[in-house]
Structure 1
Amino acid sequence: RMWTDCCLRSLSSALMYDAVHAVVAAVQELNRSQNVGVTQLSCKSSKIWEHGTSLMNYLRMVELEGLTGHIEFNSKGQRANYALRVMQSTKDGLRQIGQWHSDLGLSMERKLHSPNATDTLRNATLTVTTILENPYVMLRRNHQELDGNERYEGFCVDMLRELADILKFNYRIRLVGDGVYGVPGANGTWTGMVGELISRKADLAVAGLTITAEREKVIDFSKPFMTLGISILYRVHLARRPGYFSFLDPFSPGVWLFMLLAYLAVSCVLFLVARLTPYEWYNPHPCQRGRCNLVINQYSLGNSFWFPVGGFMQQGSAIAPRALSTRCVSGVWWAFTLIIISSYTANLAAFLTVQRMEVPIESVDDLADQTAIEYGTMHGGSTMTFFQNSRYQTYQRMWNYMHSKQPSVFVKSTEEGIARVLNSNYAYLLESTMNEYYRQRNCNLTQIGGLLDTKGYGIGMPLGSVYRDEFDLAILKLQEDNRLEILKRKWWEGGKCPKEEDHRAKGLGMENIGGIFVVLVCGLLVAIFMAVLEFAWMLRHSHGTELSMCEEMLQELRGIVTCQDSLQLRRRRCPGGLRARPLLPEDPGRARAAAMAAVSLSNGMVCGAGAPEPLSHRLAQEAALVARGCGHVRICPECRRFQGLRARVAGAAGASPVHSEGSFEWEKAIDVSEPE
């Protein structure tokens, strides 16, 4: 710029010199043709100089060689028939590389000479100002033991080394005095690295220096070596860790409650409808119609509650509705369970495999519309300048908040902003590259929303620097060779946190589905407990046993382990858990008398009429009926292949069962000829 100003001043002096010579030559010619006198004129008077027109005509005829070349004017009084030389500045001075003529135009004598590192930067030592900022410029761990440039490391240090290898220059790194990037002051002066470039205390500013229009007015920037934008850094708010009962999450507690109420309602309605309709009452043994006046209803209270469970679990049951009303209830329940199970299955995968984050803000608009979360940026940086000069309404509102907030929400360094984010309810506004760097090294940080703007980092130089084009070419070469991308991966990656873009499915652990194992174990324990209660209930209502409950249970378990299906075990498996007591030999008359009366069997069936009798009497009647050959006696209604009873006198083979005085032993008699 100084050289340009000097050239302009020299050109102005030369033009003034030639103009005076042209006027003198015209006046001399005018004086030869006529006597030119001097007349006093007033600016307020309309009187003109009488020789003015003649002087203008003689000026158009002037031809001479001046400092600016050939001087000649056309009829309009404009300079004509002149030429300009095209010069190039080199290390040896100015040299002509072409000529421009007013009539012929431009004619180049030789190709434009491209300056290279040999011309300007070879063996030159440049002062580089920078600022400590991770990961651009950092002090080595043993920096106190090192000297000079070896004390520093980082992305910008490696990039500066690559540029020095290309352009063949030397450099000396020096930290900026006030520790800021640079903002204009009230009196027009600049602080930070920008101020050092303006005062020419440094030749280069290599750091995360953002290219802005305001800075571009006072310093020069190279082409951007990194593209970025302003982003929001906030701490991670994870949802609660998945518990053992995470499989319940697809439905809300209210839905689970209504499903339970629906199950109870359907069970009660099914029981009521099945009892009302006559088509659910039927004879289980139609082949014995007339001999046994028995009708049953399969929808007992227990079966009414079990049937909806089988439909809900998509397993069904052995109970099949017969009447139209019960089938209607069953169909509606099945349709209900189809939708419920499908919805549950669709949502179960997402709730078990995806850990959703609970973030109170999701965008910059959410941040600007609330006051519970404080937010700010680095003082004296380009981000603060961006909000200060922005004309966007949301950003203006954010700047008014940050500017007026007390205590101040501005921080002096990025490390201070990160610490404030982690230790308080604070959101930090910074460049996206810095955001990515710190998120890779602290899993408690996350980025909110996208980028607020788009800008770039460039190398700062004093205004009019002769090195600008050379650094532009060198940066382009590094980008084409992917050297800048390699350096970025070197200093950004390597953190302990996984990439946020990695959403591949991962295996479920016990913390996700462990609850269903708890349910399974609890169900098994409840079943064992209920079996013990049933066993105890059976023993309490049975007669003729001399063993205690523990001995009976141990004997039962011993038979189960040894796979011995004893006669005693078979008798225990009859409905109701009742044992058959042997008919005592000293009471044969009672059995004959009971056999002649109406019979009420121990399994609940009724043959003929008669009032119910005690259990011991029923057993005696059944024994007598067996002895008389009553073939329709049933022990277990569910065991339909058990066709009857046979009596056998213990220890008296071939004796007549009617007249035997011995005790009876019960055994199964299977008649495969009768349909089941």
Structure 2
Amino acid sequence: MDIFYQAKQVKLMSDYISYLVTSLDAHTLDYTELDLWAEEESGVANITGFRLVDPNSMDVQNAVHDWIWTERMRGNTITLTPKMVKTSSALINDAVHMLARALHQLDQTEPFIVEAPLSCEGVDKWEHGERIVSFVKAKYSDPDNTESGMTGPLWLDKDSSYRRNNFTVTLIETRADNATGTWNRSGIHLYRTVEEMERFTKELLSKKVMRVVSKLGPPYLMMRENQTGTTGNDQFRGYAIELIQMIADELKFKFEFYLVKDGKYGSLNKDGRWDGLIKDLLDRKADLGICDLTITYDRERAVDFTMPFMTLGISILYSNPPEKAPNLYSFLEPLSTEVWIYMASAFISVSLLLFILARVTPLEWNNPHPCNPEPEELENTFNLINSMWFAMGSFLQQGCDFLPQAPSTRMVAGLWWFFTLIMISSYTANLAAFLTAAGLDTERIHSAKDLGAQNKVQYGCMAGGSTQAFFAASNTSEYQRMWSIMSAARPTVFTASNPLGVERVKNAWENGKRDYAFFMESTGIEYECQRTCYLRMVGNLLDSKGYGIAMPRNSPYRALISGAVLKLQEKGKLVQLKDRWWKQMDAGGACEQEFVDNSDDNKLTMGHVGGVFLVLTYGCVGAFFVAVGEFLWNTHTVAIENKITPKEALVKEMKFAVRCSEDTKPIRHRATTPSSSRSGSRSLGRSLALSLLQLNAFQRLGGGGGGGDGGDGGGGTEKKK
């Protein structure tokens, strides 16, 4: 017990340490003090021993009873129990009984005289010695021999030079004095079943307060906002503490959380030492370690892990491009401003050229009355307004009710049609591409390969974590090149923690550069994207791994806790717990996008084509005001011709305009007086006489020389005599 006491002083008596006592008298020690240590230290080492003497056998109990009775007969009082019998005493007792029984039986069959005791220093042999030894060998090597002693069956094996080899060594748990198995010549045999071992471990666990080490990091473990009057576990909240609580409720144990001092997960240093949570577990300061701790090869060689309670992988955290509201005048975007100006200039230039060429060429001056072979006037359809109307109709591919006839004007019209064909076709194709691309993801970074192939966006990860170890140990050339770029980057692209990496991505988005991407576990990216809508996860997972609950090597509670995690997983409790902390707590789910039918994603909205409607609206409003101007001018003319007030004319014209059922409008001639009628008759007579004289003079001159220019004709044409 002194050795165990010294082990306790150097903290080598925890329940993660096992001792094997090779002495066959280990069962005789008093282990009650260890029970007190177990209460003080919340657990004590497992001590396994061997014994050859079974205190519960009748042979041992009878022998102890005989010893006590013999001593009483001698007048001595001794305190002796079967558990106090040492193996050497039992072996001596069995040896004496074997010899005594042999001599007694031999004396009955072959009586002999026992002489005086021989000198121990003499060289002469006792004449009966060999005969007694041979009789003992023959008696106890007989297969029918069933004698037993305190140490078990008393039988000697002829094939083993009459050695005793059929004894049984019992394996015991010294503290509980429970036999866990036996060993004999046929092998080891364990008494306890898996169910019994699990039940025994549960009993130990229920008496223990498990120390749980963790580190701060949302949503796994966070400090409560209101710390007033809170101590112990009450000062924490998060996914990890609720998961441990669910496991504790399943296995009926108590736990106590504390934070790791250096705030690290645990990585292997160059000198072969661990830090962070792993170090606390190796130093037996904690029984469990839980947070977003990834199960890796190196960590699993140092500590034990339960089955994963969450499966994940490495991915990329990046920001979305800033969303731009659709431009109402997006129909102008397919062509640059410079092209629009050149097109307007071309329209004006072609209109003016048509107007000039139509006046110059004689083939554009036409007879307004085809039935009259000798007209007095010719008209030109391509005045300035009509030239612009023709150019506009051709440009919009709507045509016109008049066409050029002269070769020169037709040449200009043909080249204009060719120009408009190319420009309208190009515009239509480019407009469709622009409007369609507005609803598509134009981001160039869609995977780690895309990220590694460019040099504008920097990328990094958390220093000292499993993600950094993944790149450092990767055999993939692409990841090796990315690791070289990250290692050589100055300033460094590594961060001290995942939250700092997330903050760096946010800052890059806020300053408009979007020049940093961060590698981290997909679960952490999902958590951030649920709360910051301009963040997103890029590409597929680079690997597959899991988060597990760590514990010291060879922990007796590993199977129980793994089983509890599996039960929670089968019941769907782990999914519910994740949804609670990812999508519900702390403003979670603000950016969650429900599944929708994406068949309408490429449809254009009013935000894309609203400008066209505005142009139509502006044009219609402008036409309305022009019509109002025409109406008011016509009203003024009617008032003058009919010699009525403008108000009366306005009322009359307005009444006619609102009668939509009438399609014809009567002409109101000016009222005439007799004097005016006579004056008009005289004027008409003078005009007719003058016309006849001019015609006569023209005929005498043989049709030479003409009169003056006439006025403009109606119908938007120009006339010449």
- The 8 Å contact of residues 180 and 191 in structure 2, kept in 1 or not, is answered as no
Deviation (angstroms), 1:144? 3.5
Counterpart of 1:429 in 2: which secondary structure? strand
**Aligned mates of 1:235, 1:100 — CA distance in 2:** 71
Counterpart of 1:234 in 2: which secondary structure? strand
For 1:546-557, what aligned pairs fall within 5 Å after superposition?
none
Instruction: Provide the residue aligned with 1:430 in structure 2.
Output: 520
Instruction: Indicate which of 683, 700, 711 corresponds to 1:587.
Output: 683
Instruction: Provide the residue aligned with 1:130 in structure 2.
Output: 214
Matched, 1:596 2:679: no
> For structure 1, which runs of at least 5 residues remain unmatched after alignment?
15-31, 33-59, 71-83, 573-581, 600-606, 619-633, 639-676
Deviations 1:180-222, CA, capped at 9 Å, x for gaps: 1011123322111111111111111111100111111101111
Instruction: Provide the residue aligned with 1:143 in structure 2.
Output: 227
The structure-2 alpha-carbon separation of the partners of 1:149 and 1:295, relative to structure 1 and needing over 3 Å to count, comes to same
The structure-2 alpha-carbon separation of the partners of 1:185 and 1:292, relative to structure 1 and needing over 3 Å to count, comes to same
Instruction: Provide the residue aligned with 1:290 in structure 2.
Output: 373
**Aligned mates of 2:493, 2:563 — CA distance in 1:** 41
Instruction: Provide the residue aligned with 2:429 in structure 1.
Output: 343
Deviation (angstroms), 1:335? 6.4
Deviation (angstroms), 1:368? 3.8
Deviation (angstroms), 1:473? 2.2
The structure-2 alpha-carbon separation of the partners of 1:163 and 1:592, relative to structure 1 and needing over 3 Å to count, comes to same
Counterpart of 1:491 in 2: which secondary structure? helix
- The 8 Å contact of residues 230 and 451 in structure 1, kept in 2 or not, is answered as yes
Deviation (angstroms), 1:129? 0.8
Deviates more, 1:211-220 or 1:184-193: 184-193
Deviation (angstroms), 1:114? 6.6
Corresponding letter in the other structure for 1:492: W
Corresponding letter in the other structure for 2:688: R
**Aligned mates of 2:184, 2:341 — CA distance in 1:** 94
Deviation (angstroms), 1:524? 4.5
- The 8 Å contact of residues 527 and 582 in structure 2, kept in 1 or not, is answered as yes
For 1:363-378, what aligned pairs fall within 5 Å after superposition?
363-369=447-453, 372-378=456-462
Instruction: Indicate which of 284, 294, 311 corresponds to 1:227.
Output: 311
RMSD after superposition: 5.6
Question: Number of matched residues?
Answer: 534
The structure-2 alpha-carbon separation of the partners of 1:318 and 1:171, relative to structure 1 and needing over 3 Å to count, comes to farther
Deviates more, 1:327-336 or 1:425-434: 327-336
**Aligned mates of 1:62, 1:118 — CA distance in 2:** 40
Matched, 1:464 2:554: yes
- Larger Cα Rg: Structure 1 or Structure 2? 2
**Aligned mates of 1:169, 1:396 — CA distance in 2:** 46
- The 8 Å contact of residues 238 and 358 in structure 1, kept in 2 or not, is answered as no
- The 8 Å contact of residues 97 and 110 in structure 1, kept in 2 or not, is answered as no
Counterpart of 2:272 in 1: which secondary structure? coil
Instruction: Indicate which of 272, 281, 288 corresponds to 1:197.
Output: 281
Deviates more, 1:374-383 or 1:178-187: 374-383
Instruction: Indicate which of 444, 455, 465 corresponds to 2:545.
Output: 455
Counterpart of 1:126 in 2: which secondary structure? strand
Matched, 1:563 2:656: yes
Counterpart of 2:244 in 1: which secondary structure? helix
Normalising by structure 1, we get a TM-score of: 0.62
Deviation (angstroms), 1:510? 6.5
Instruction: Indicate which of 254, 257, 262 corresponds to 1:170.
Output: 254
The structure-2 alpha-carbon separation of the partners of 1:66 and 1:198, relative to structure 1 and needing over 3 Å to count, comes to farther
Deviation (angstroms), 1:475? 1.9
Instruction: Indicate which of 434, 441, 444 corresponds to 2:534.
Output: 444
The structure-2 alpha-carbon separation of the partners of 1:564 and 1:411, relative to structure 1 and needing over 3 Å to count, comes to closer
- The 8 Å contact of residues 459 and 517 in structure 2, kept in 1 or not, is answered as yes
**Aligned mates of 2:507, 2:324 — CA distance in 1:** 20
Counterpart of 1:242 in 2: which secondary structure? coil
For 1:89-108, what aligned pairs fall within 5 Å after superposition?
93=178, 95-96=180-181
Instruction: Provide the residue aligned with 1:520 in structure 2.
Output: 616
Instruction: Provide the residue aligned with 1:480 in structure 2.
Output: 570
The structure-2 alpha-carbon separation of the partners of 1:92 and 1:126, relative to structure 1 and needing over 3 Å to count, comes to farther
Corresponding letter in the other structure for 1:427: A
**Aligned mates of 2:326, 2:226 — CA distance in 1:** 45
**Aligned mates of 2:263, 2:679 — CA distance in 1:** 110
Corresponding letter in the other structure for 1:563: F
Instruction: Provide the residue aligned with 1:499 in structure 2.
Output: 593
Instruction: Provide the residue aligned with 2:699 in structure 1.
Output: none
Deviation (angstroms), 1:497? 2.5
- The 8 Å contact of residues 201 and 556 in structure 2, kept in 1 or not, is answered as no
- The 8 Å contact of residues 363 and 449 in structure 1, kept in 2 or not, is answered as yes
- The 8 Å contact of residues 85 and 100 in structure 1, kept in 2 or not, is answered as no
> For structure 2, which runs of at least 5 residues remain unmatched after alignment?
1-14, 25-47, 52-129, 131-157, 509-514, 660-664, 669-677, 696-702
Corresponding letter in the other structure for 2:291: A
**Aligned mates of 1:301, 1:9 — CA distance in 2:** 124
Corresponding letter in the other structure for 2:516: Y
Deviations 1:274-324, CA, capped at 9 Å, x for gaps: 9999999876655x3437477767666644543464466565554579999
Normalising by structure 2, we get a TM-score of: 0.59
**Aligned mates of 2:381, 2:172 — CA distance in 1:** 113
Deviation (angstroms), 1:453? 2.3
Deviation (angstroms), 1:593? 3.1
- The 8 Å contact of residues 411 and 417 in structure 1, kept in 2 or not, is answered as yes
The structure-2 alpha-carbon separation of the partners of 1:98 and 1:565, relative to structure 1 and needing over 3 Å to count, comes to same
The structure-2 alpha-carbon separation of the partners of 1:7 and 1:241, relative to structure 1 and needing over 3 Å to count, comes to farther
Counterpart of 1:144 in 2: which secondary structure? coil
Corresponding letter in the other structure for 1:306: W
**Aligned mates of 1:417, 1:611 — CA distance in 2:** 94
Instruction: Provide the residue aligned with 1:386 in structure 2.
Output: 470
Deviation (angstroms), 1:62? 4.1
Q: Percent identity?
A: 34
The structure-2 alpha-carbon separation of the partners of 1:98 and 1:289, relative to structure 1 and needing over 3 Å to count, comes to farther
**Aligned mates of 1:314, 1:2 — CA distance in 2:** 90
For 1:537-552, what aligned pairs fall within 5 Å after superposition?
none
